[in-house]
Homo-oligomer: A and B are copies of this chain.
């Protein structure tokens, strides 16, 4: 893909003052776990992705992160959470906040459409080295 289609720059309005349909945005994304920005609120970004299969265990040491499920059934495994190790299940319309520093692994047994909210600059694979699953920041759709 050309740079222009792979990493469209932020619109001048940062996705503000307009109606956004997150699910319809996902229809324009190729591939799973390819999160794309759809709007900004202060220094936070709203991102969408479609998910399938297991993601990698990771954590974000400096920030909480919010998951809102638009379609499908998302499992999030935790290690070392205040509530202990475990798994939560989110169906369409459900949300969960993962606290900073808590290891987590999102899993989708069938396709999930997801809305993510987190500060600008958060890397999808968490702290540490980039991997083949790391998505470049600030790609809009």
User: Which residues of A does B touch, CB under 8 Å?
Assistant: 13-23, 39-42, 44, 46, 63-66, 68, 70, 78, 81-83, 88-90, 93-100, 102, 115, 117-119
Establish whether residues A40 and B90, one from each chain, have CB atoms under 8 Å apart when the complex forms.
no
Partner of A97, one of B23, B39, B66: B39
Establish whether residues B97 and A41, one from each chain, have CB atoms under 8 Å apart when the complex forms.
yes
Establish whether residues A18 and B96, one from each chain, have CB atoms under 8 Å apart when the complex forms.
yes
Establish whether residues A40 and B97, one from each chain, have CB atoms under 8 Å apart when the complex forms.
yes
Copies of this polypeptide in the complex: 2
Partner of A81, one of B17, B81, B94, B102: B17
Min distance, Cβ A130 to any Cβ of chain B, angstroms = 24
Query: Told that A17-B96, A18-B88, A39-B66 touch, could you supply 11 new A-B pairs with CB distance under 8 A?
Result: A15-B97, A17-B98, A17-B102, A19-B90, A20-B95, A39-B95, A39-B97, A40-B64, A46-B66, A70-B93, A95-B115
Rounded to whole angstroms, the CA-CA distance of A17 and B97 in the bound complex is: 6
Using CB atoms, name the residue of chain B closest to A96: B19
